[in-house]
């Protein structure tokens, strides 16, 4: 089945339509049968598409994927409640928070593995600034939310933080914020 996204003009780049359609089909299958686990919020957040001329508009697809991510996170929170009950889910969330907070409060320039001096990674200063906001949010002072974490970008810097580690952390922070929202 084809997704209903606008395409960019033939001379501009957008997402490869068949790749996007494939993910949307998986999402439809997941919603039709929630127990199937063919797609989850985490794999949706980390999905990447090839850029091709005349593809789907990037902003439209990204907005739809964000809505799907929220819906999947809600389903996952409900499954957590069913599996572990309210007490178990609350304990799981507290452990999750503790893990995220420990990383966010490691101290300046020490939160993640660094690239070699001849390789670029994410700006240490920018990531550390974001981690302060994440820590404040985890400690009860909302300073950053899911939309900001989804859209954050960092400048490339020599000997910066390893991108994969930062990206994985941000993915987990989004997951935590979504679950905690749905568990109340």
Taking only the tens place, the pLDDT of each residue in 159-178 is 999 999 999 999 999 999 99
Beta-carbon count within 10 A of 176 CB: 20
- Three-state DSSP string of 107-155: CCCCCCCECCCCCEEECHHHHHHHHHHHHHHHCCCCCCCHHHHHHCCCC
- pLDDT at 2 exceeding the cut of 90: no
- pLDDT at 3 exceeding the cut of 70: no
Burial 81-109 (b: 16+ CB within 10 A, else e): beeeeeeebeeebeebeeebbebbeeeee
Task: Give Dmax over CA atoms of the chain in angstroms.
Answer: 55
**Structure pTM?**
0.88
Span 127-150, pLDDT tens digits: 999 999 999 999 999 999 999 999
Q: pLDDT band at 70, cuts 50/70/90?
A: very high
Do residues 65 and 97 touch, judged by C-beta distance below 8 A? no
Span 4-55, pLDDT tens digits: 899 999 999 999 999 999 999 999 888 888 777 788 888 888 899 999 999 9
């Amino acid at each position: 089945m084809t997704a209903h996204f606008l395409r960019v003009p033939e001379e501009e780049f957008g997402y490869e339509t068949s790749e996007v359609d494939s993910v949307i089909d998986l999402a439809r299958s997941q919603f039709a049968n929630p127990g199937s686990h063919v797609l989850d919020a985490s794999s949706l957040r980390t999905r990447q598409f090839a850029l091709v001329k005349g593809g789907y508009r990037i902003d439209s697809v990204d907005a739809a994927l964000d809505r799907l991510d929220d819906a999947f996170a809600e389903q996952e929170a409900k499954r957590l409640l069913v599996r572990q009950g309210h007490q178990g889910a609350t304990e799981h969330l507290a452990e999750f928070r503790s893990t995220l907070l420990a990383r966010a409060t490691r101290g300046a320039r020490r939160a993640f593995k660094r690239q070699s001096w001849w390789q670029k990674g994410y700006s240490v200063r920018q990531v550390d600034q974001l981690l302060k906001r994440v820590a404040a949010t985890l400690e009860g002072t909302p300073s950053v939310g899911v939309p900001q974490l989804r859209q954050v970008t960092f400048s490339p810097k020599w000997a910066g933080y390893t991108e994969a580690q930062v990206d994985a952390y941000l993915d987990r922070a989004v997951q935590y914020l979504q679950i905690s929202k749905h568990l109340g």
